[in-house]
Structure 1
Amino acid sequence: MDTTHTNGNRSHHHILPETTVLVVVVFIIIIILLIAIFIIILLLRRINSPKPNGNISNNNSNNKNGMFNAHSTIQINDTAGRLDMKKGCIFGGSPCSLPSATSKGVQVFTYKELQTATDDFAQANLVGTGGFGTVYRGTLRDGTLSAVKMLSREGKQGERAFRSEVDLLSRLRCPYLVDLLGYCADNRHRLIVFEYMPNGTLHDNLHLHDGRSQLLNWGVRLRIALDCARALEFLHEHTTPSVIHRDFKSTNILLDENFRAKVSDFGLAKIGSDKLNGMISTRVLGTTGYLAPEYASTGKLTTKSDVYSYGVVLLELLTRRVPIDTNRPPGEHVLVSWALPRLTNRTALEEMVDPNLHGQFSKKDLIQVAAIAAMCVQTEADYRPLMTDVVQSLIHIVHTLTSGSSTSSFRINKRVSPR
C-alpha cells in the first residue's frame, strides 16, 4: 500500500515538469509567430506604400515657381526606349498616357509648311548651325515664333538622333528643357521644331566678340548655372532610369528674352542604368573638351559624365574661356587642367575670372562657385557631386544675392538683344 502510494507520487512529480515545459514551448512558438507576422505586415506596407523622393520635395520647397510635382516620377521603359508617365504629369497629378504625335502641343508638320514658315529657309532666318543640322527662325501658321532645326546627317546615326530627340522631348516636360513644338518626317526630310529662344546660345553670348558677354553680369551667370543644374537634376534624378544628355555644352544651352537658360539638343542622349551609380557602355560621342575622362577613355557612361560637362560649362561662365583653345600660351590650352589648380588659390582665382565682370561679385560667392566647379571636374567620377547637391548649393548663393544688396546684379542691360 505504501509502496503504491509512493510510486504514484513519483509519477505525479514526473508529469508536472513535462507539462510545464510543453506549455512554455508552445507559448514561445506563439510569440515567435506573432513577431514574424508583425514583421511581414510591416514589410508589405513598406513595399506597397509610394516611395518618397526627398530631393524632389526639398526642391519644391525651395522653388517658388512650382518647378516639379513632388510625387511625379517619369518611368522609362529602357528596352523600348520609351517613356511611361505612370505617376502623373510633371505639372500636375492627373494620369498621363503615352503621348501621341499630336498630343501635348507636339504637331506633325509637312516639309512645305516649314518651308513657308522659314521663307524657304532663307539665309536671313538662319540663327545657328551645329553638328546635327542648321537652325532657322520660323513663324508657324498660328503666328508662333519657332526655331526649326533641319537635320543634315544622313544614315542610321542621323535617323537615330532625330528619333531620340523627338521621342524624349515629347515626353520630358520640364521648364529647364527646351519645348518641342513638333517635327517633320516628310520623305527624307527630318526637321524638329522648338520654341524660339531669342538670345541664342550661351556659347555665342560668352565667346563671340560682339559685346554680348557684357550682358551677362555675375547674377545673370549664376541664374544660368542654376537653370542648367536643375535641367540635369531633372534628367538624372527625376526620371527612372535616368537620362544622360551626353552632349551638355554651352552651344546646347539656349537663353530666352530674360536670359534664363534651357537645355537643348538631345540627339545623343542615352537612357542610363537603373542601378545606383550604374554605368552603360556606348560609343564615345560628344564634344572634345567637355567629355569626362573615364567616358572618353573607356566608353563607360554614367550621369557623372554629365556632371563633368556641367563643371566645364561652369568654368566657361567664370572665365569666358572655351574648353580647348590652342591659341593660348602653353599650359593654357585645356581649360580644366589650367583652371583646376587655380580654383583653390584665392589670388589665382580672382585673376582667372572674366574681366568683363569688372569685379562686381562677392568674393565669398566666387569661392563657393569655384568649389562647385572643382568638384564637378574631378578626374574620379565618384568624387563628383550629384546634381541635386549642386542645385542646393547654387540656390543658397542665388538666394543670398536676391535677398541682399546685390539684387541689381540680376538686372539685364537694356541693350537690344542681338537675336
Structure 2
Amino acid sequence: MKCFSIFKDKSKSKKRESSSAPELRNQSKSDNSALTRTSRSLPSPRSIPELYKEKEHNLRVFSFQELRDATNGFNRMLKIGEGGFGSVYKGTIKPLDGQGEPIVVAIKKLNTHSLQGHKEWLAEVQFLGVVNHPNLVKLIGYCSVDGERGIQRLLVYEFMPNRSLEHHLFSTTSTLPWKTRLEIMLGAAEGLAYLHEGLEVKVIYRDFKSSNVLLDENFKPKLSDFGLAREGPTGDRTHVSTAVVGTFGYAAPEYVETGHLTIQSDIWTFGVVLYEVLTGRRTVERNRPTLEQKLLDWVKQFPPDSKRFSMIIDPRLRNNYSPSAARKVGKLADSCLNKNAKERPTMSQVVESLKQAIQDSGEGSSSVSKSPLTSSSRSSGRRSKKV
C-alpha cells in the first residue's frame, strides 16, 4: 500500500508513492465549483482550496502502517466513535522529530465503500488545513492510501478526552453544571463567529449539533467534523445551492425546503442546541408523549417571558441556575430560530448575548477548571438520522 498527499508529495524519500495528486486537486476544484469566484475579472476572496495550498505544509502525512500501529491494528477496544463515515479510534503517534513522549490522538478511518465519505474527508482536510481558532478542533494530519485492499482515507486529530456536549447532556448520570453549559456554548459561538466573519472567505459549518461540540480536559469546546462545511456565497449571490444534507431536527427550515444554504442556516442550528442545553432533551425523542417528541414544538408552549418557562429547564440542574440568565438564553434561542432568516442575529451578537448571560449567572466568566464529572455510561458516538 502506498500513501500519497492530497496535492503534492511532502516526503521526498518516498519515491515509489503514487502521484495521483493532480486528480485529487482537480476533484477538489470540481467539488467547490459552485463556490468559487463567478468572474475572474472581479475581485473575489480566494477559495478554500486556494487558501489550503498556502498551508498544506502544516499538515503531517502519515503512512497507513503508522496509523495501524498507533491504534494497535484498529483495535475495537480503542474505538471511541462510529457513524456513517466510518470509525474513530484513540491512538498514540510519535512526535514528528521522533523525540519525546508519544502523542495521544483521535484517528478517523473512513468507510472504504463510501463515495460520500471521500468527499467529506477531502473537505475536512481542506477546511481544517486552513482554519486556526482555539474553538475549532486541530487536524494534525492525514493518510490517503490506494492499495490491494481498496482505498483508505484517514484523518488524525488532537484528542478530546471529555468527549462531546451530547455525551454530557444525554448519556451520563452526571449533571453538566449550568455555568459550564453556558461557557461551552460561548466557546462554540466564538468558533462559529470565526468561521462566519474571521476568514477571507465565509464558511458555513452546516453540521452544528451537540455531538460535534467536543470537550478538552478543561471542558473547553471545539467544533469538529467539517465534512459538510461549505464556502459561503460570494459577490452578489445570496446563498449557495446544495443537496440537503445534515442531521434530522437541526437543519434550518428554509434550507430543507429550498436547498439554499446561508450563514443564517448555522444560526438556526445554534438555536436548536441552545434549547437542548436549557432542557436537557434531544431535538427529537420518540419515546415521549406525542406533543413532546419534537423539542422545538414542545418549548413553544413555554415562552421565556411566561411564568411557565421554568418548567422546561433541565430538572437535573435542581434549580442550580440563574432564572434571569435562563430567560435571556431562551430569548436568544428564539431569535436564532426566527423563521425569517434575515432577522436572526449574527454569531458575533450571539457571543455578546452569551457573555451577558454568563455574567448574570455569577461572578465573571472564568474558564471551567477540570470538571469533577464522571462518565458512567459510554456514548455510542453514532451519527443521528440524516435528513
TM-score bracket for the superposition, by shorter chain length: 0.7 to 0.9
Q: How big is each residue's C-alpha offset from its partner over 1:173-219, in whole Å with a ceiling of 9 and x where there is no partner?
A: 011100001101011110100000001111111111x314x1x1001
* 2:173 maps to which of 196, 211, 215: 211
Structure with larger RCO (C-alpha < 8 A, sep 6+)? 2
- Secondary structure, counterpart of 2:152 in structure 1: coil
Q: Would the aligned equivalents of 1:240 and 1:274 in 2 still touch at CA under 8 Å?
A: no
Which amino acid in structure 2 is aligned with residue 173 of structure 1?
N
Partner of 2:93: 140
Cα distance in 2 between the residues matched to 1:153 and 1:335: 35
Partner of 1:84: 51
Which amino acid in structure 1 is aligned with residue 71 of structure 2?
T
Q: Does 1:99 align with 2:68?
A: no
Q: Which runs of 4+ in 1 moved over 6 A?
A: none
Cα distance in 1 between the residues matched to 2:84 and 2:116: 12
Deviation of residue 339 (structure 1)?
1.2
Partner of 2:372: 414
Cα distance in 1 between the residues matched to 2:357 and 2:304: 18
Partner of 2:328: 368
Cα distance in 2 between the residues matched to 1:190 and 1:294: 33
- RMSD over aligned CA atoms reads 2.2
- How many matched pairs? 324
Which amino acid in structure 1 is aligned with residue 55 of structure 2?
P
**Alpha-carbon distance change, 277 to 235 in structure 1, aligned in 2, over 3 angstroms:** farther
How does 1:233-312 map onto structure 2 within 5 Å? Answer: 233-275=193-235, 278-312=238-272
Cα distance in 1 between the residues matched to 2:50 and 2:267: 23
Cα distance in 2 between the residues matched to 1:153 and 1:371: 44
* 1:196 maps to which of 159, 164, 173: 159
5+ residue gaps, structure 1, are: 1-74, 86-96
- Secondary structure, counterpart of 2:54 in structure 1: coil
Q: How big is each residue's C-alpha offset from its partner over 1:251-295, in whole Å with a ceiling of 9 and x where there is no partner?
A: 111011111110000001110102478211110000010010000
Partner of 2:351: 391
Which amino acid in structure 1 is aligned with residue 213 of structure 2?
I
* 1:321 maps to which of 281, 305, 318: 281
* 1:183 maps to which of 139, 142, 147: 142
Q: Does 1:123 align with 2:86?
A: no
**Alpha-carbon distance change, 131 to 364 in structure 1, aligned in 2, over 3 angstroms:** same
Deviation of residue 331 (structure 1)?
1.4
Deviation of residue 162 (structure 1)?
0.8
- Secondary structure, counterpart of 1:286 in structure 2: coil
Based on CA coordinates, which of the two structures has the bigger radius of gyration? 1
- Secondary structure, counterpart of 1:403 in structure 2: coil
Cα distance in 2 between the residues matched to 1:305 and 1:388: 15
Which amino acid in structure 2 is aligned with residue 288 of structure 1?
F
Deviation of residue 330 (structure 1)?
1.5
- Secondary structure, counterpart of 2:130 in structure 1: coil
Q: Does 1:358 align with 2:358?
A: no
Deviation of residue 112 (structure 1)?
0.8
- Secondary structure, counterpart of 2:81 in structure 1: strand
Deviation of residue 415 (structure 1)?
4.5
Deviation of residue 413 (structure 1)?
4.5
Partner of 1:50: none
Q: Would the aligned equivalents of 2:220 and 2:368 in 1 still touch at CA under 8 Å?
A: no
Which amino acid in structure 1 is aligned with residue 51 of structure 2?
D
- Secondary structure, counterpart of 2:145 in structure 1: coil
TM-score, reference length from structure 2: 0.79
Q: Would the aligned equivalents of 1:375 and 1:385 in 2 still touch at CA under 8 Å?
A: yes
Q: Would the aligned equivalents of 2:219 and 2:371 in 1 still touch at CA under 8 Å?
A: no
- Secondary structure, counterpart of 1:234 in structure 2: helix
**Alpha-carbon distance change, 138 to 317 in structure 1, aligned in 2, over 3 angstroms:** same
Partner of 1:159: 118
- Secondary structure, counterpart of 1:185 in structure 2: strand
5+ residue gaps, structure 2, are: 1-43, 96-101, 379-387
Q: Would the aligned equivalents of 2:326 and 2:357 in 1 still touch at CA under 8 Å?
A: no
Q: Would the aligned equivalents of 1:169 and 1:179 in 2 still touch at CA under 8 Å?
A: yes
Which amino acid in structure 1 is aligned with residue 46 of structure 2?
N
Deviation of residue 338 (structure 1)?
1.3
Partner of 2:39: none
**Alpha-carbon distance change, 266 to 413 in structure 1, aligned in 2, over 3 angstroms:** closer
Partner of 1:174: 133
Which amino acid in structure 1 is aligned with residue 252 of structure 2?
A
**Alpha-carbon distance change, 358 to 131 in structure 1, aligned in 2, over 3 angstroms:** same
Q: Would the aligned equivalents of 1:134 and 1:149 in 2 still touch at CA under 8 Å?
A: yes
Cα distance in 1 between the residues matched to 2:233 and 2:271: 22
- Secondary structure, counterpart of 2:82 in structure 1: strand
Partner of 2:35: none
Deviation of residue 383 (structure 1)?
2.0
TM-score, reference length from structure 1: 0.73
Q: How big is each residue's C-alpha offset from its partner over 1:273-327, in whole Å with a ceiling of 9 and x where there is no partner?
A: 0247821111000001001000011101001001111111111111111111111
